[in-house]
């Protein structure tokens, strides 16, 4: 059972006639409203990237010199809004160019062809020096910064950040309050970053929690297979075969029960001549592990497939539970979940990007549950 962590002692300034207010009183009043805002964001709405804050290759080539010793590994963080795990808003009003290896600490500067993680964290600084009305022993100066600029600083590390395993934002926030945005593969200080090396799976969308989703399947959705290829795919003969489904995070193996996944064969034919039946099968490789990130379901009977059959795979993801016992978000949006271990296809016409606007296609619409449906066709030959 989770417990509420770190609730502030809220005291609101009470005004009265003739009251003397000093800097400490006004600062505490500001902190009251800031604390209320952080509570609202953290406990009621969540945290993560609200919009923008994308990581792109950059800057333009004319920013680089010709010297081989010049660092060329740059990325650009686009304008956007985020909220960190403490409920503090991170506002990027314009693009920010980042020298990846220049931003690394001296201890983390490694050899070329390494993996780097890029993120942002809340920061503030006192600005706009303002002359005081009088100088006293307490002030110590006749000029003080009169405003605080709220902003952010960029963090780059070669150490993989620890994932946030909390089941609720009521728990203690993670030690690292960086809002991680992207992973950069094969980073080399003397080579420009390539678009295919920028991966954004680590990016957390704004919300109370991140639903576990389906990130890959072992068949082409809507594809066509020969009878023999379909048998191999279903594991009819090979015990190491079977339909594989991969998830973005751990799911509980005890939720892989009979009836959660069905394979239905709709026989080829027209009108009332067509028939359908359910193929016998079972989950494999469950073992004694409490969690898994991939399920395998193989045919255990000897039914045969014929030309023009359609094989319909249905996964009732409302019954698949993650580490926090929440259902997997399984809506197969547009039938665009990619095949496991295959390069993603280039964007085509129509909906080229997922609803959340970044990253690869996965299942889910941010709510959890629902049913994942996919199918393929069978032909002779």
Q: In the predicted model, is pLDDT for residue 176 greater than 60?
A: yes
* Residue 152 pLDDT > 90: yes
CA pair distance 275, 269, nearest whole angstrom: 8
* Percent residues over pLDDT 70 in the chain: 90
Ranking 167-176, 207-216, 294-303 by mean pLDDT, the lowest is 167-176
**pLDDT one-digit tens code per residue, 29-51:** 999 999 999 999 989 999 999 99
In this structure, of 154-163, 275-284, 354-363, the range with the lowest mean pLDDT score is 354-363
Residue 141, pLDDT score: 64
Give which of 303, 308, 274 is closest to 380, Cα–Cα: 308
Q: What is the mean predicted confidence (pLDDT) over 89-96?
A: 94
The beta strands (E) that lie in the chain are given as 48-52, 55-57, 74-77, 80-83, 89-92, 96-99, 114-131, 143-157, 179-187, 198-199, 214-217, 224-226, 243-252, 261-266, 276-278, 281-284, 291-299, 310-315, 372-379
Q: What is the mean pLDDT of the chain?
A: 87
Residue 368 binned pLDDT confidence (cut-offs 50, 70, 90)? confident
Confidence (pLDDT) at 135:
58
Report which of residues 182 and 139 the model is more confident about. Answer: 182
Q: How confident is the model at residue 345 (pLDDT cuts 50, 70, 90)?
A: low
DSSP state string for 52-107: E--EEE-S-GGGS-S-TTS---EEEEPSEEEE-TTS-EEEE-S-EEEEHHHHS-GG
Query: Residue 344's pLDDT is what?
Result: 63
Is the CB of residue 73 less than 8 Å from the CB of residue 54?
Answer: no
CA distance 279 to 183: 41
pLDDT of residue 1: 46
Helices (H), the chain: 23-39, 100-103, 227-234
CA angle 300, 304, 307 (to 5 degrees): 140
List C-alpha distances in Å: 253 to 119, 134, 166, 200, 210: 33, 70, 20, 27, 20
The mean per-residue pLDDT over the stretch 355-365 comes to 82
Of the candidates 337, 330, 332, 320, the one whose C-alpha atom is nearest the C-alpha of residue 286 is: 320
Whether the predicted pLDDT of 65 surpasses 90: no
Enumerate residues 6+ apart whose C-beta is below 8 A from 227: 304, 305, 306, 307, 378, 379, 380, 381
Q: Which residue has the higher pLDDT, 8 or 104?
A: 104
Task: State the Cα–Cα distance between residues 262 and 239, nearest whole angstrom.
Answer: 19
Can you give the pTM of this predicted structure?
0.84
* Integer Cα distance of 332 and 362 in angstroms: 8
Q: Which stretch, 115-119, 276-280, 302-306, has highest mean pLDDT?
A: 115-119
Q: Residue 293: how many CA atoms within 13 Å on its side-chain side?
A: 7
pLDDT at 268: 82
Is 214's pLDDT higher than 80?
A: yes
* Structure token digits, residue 7: 């609730």
Residue 94 to residue 81: CA distance in whole angstroms: 11
Using pLDDT thresholds of 50, 70 and 90, give the confidence band for residue 121: very high
pLDDT digits (tens, 9 = 90+) for 95-116: 999 999 999 988 887 777 789 9
């Amino acid at each position: 059972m989770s417990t509420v962590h770190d609730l502030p002692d809220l005291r609101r300034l009470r005004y009265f006639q003739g009251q003397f207010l000093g800097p400490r009183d006004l600062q505490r009043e500001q902190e009251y409203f800031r604390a209320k805002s952080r509570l609202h964001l953290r406990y009621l709405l969540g945290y993560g990237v609200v919009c923008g804050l994308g990581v792109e290759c950059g800057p333009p080539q004319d920013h680089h010199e010709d010297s081989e010793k010049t660092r060329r590994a740059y990325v650009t963080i686009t304008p956007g809004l985020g909220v960190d795990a403490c409920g503090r808003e991170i506002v990027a009003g314009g693009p920010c160019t980042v020298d990846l290896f220049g931003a690394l600490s001296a201890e983390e500067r490694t050899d070329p062809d390494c993996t780097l993680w890029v993120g942002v964290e809340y920061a503030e600084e006192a600005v706009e020096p303002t002359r005081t009305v009088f100088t006293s022993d307490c002030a110590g100066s006749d000029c003080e910064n009169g405003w605080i600029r709220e902003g952010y600083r960029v963090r780059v590390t070669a150490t993989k950040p620890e994932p946030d395993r909390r089941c609720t934002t009521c728990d203690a926030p993670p030690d690292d309050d960086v809002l991680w945005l992207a992973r950069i593969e094969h980073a080399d200080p003397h080579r420009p970053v390539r678009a295919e090396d920028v991966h954004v799976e680590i990016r957390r969308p704004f919300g109370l929690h991140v639903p576990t989703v389906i990130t890959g399947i072992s068949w082409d959705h809507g594809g066509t297979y020969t009878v023999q290829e379909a048998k191999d795919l279903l594991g009819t003969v090979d015990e190491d075969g079977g339909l594989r489904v991969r998830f973005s995070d751990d799911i509980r193996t005890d939720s892989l029960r009979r009836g959660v996944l069905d394979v239905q064969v709709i026989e080829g034919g027209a009108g009332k001549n067509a028939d359908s039946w359910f193929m016998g099968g079972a989950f494999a490789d469950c073992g004694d592990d409490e969690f898994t990130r991939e399920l395998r379901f193989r045919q255990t009977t000897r039914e045969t497939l014929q030309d023009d059959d359609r094989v319909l795979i249905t996964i009732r993801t409302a019954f698949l539970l993650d580490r926090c016992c929440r259902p997997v978000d399984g809506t197969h949006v547009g039938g665009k979940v990619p095949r496991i271990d295959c390069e993603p296809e280039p964007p085509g016409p129509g909906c080229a990007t997922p609803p959340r606007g970044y990253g690869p296609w996965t299942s889910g619409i941010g709510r959890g549950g629902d049913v994942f449906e996919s199918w393929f066709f069978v032909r002779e030959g």
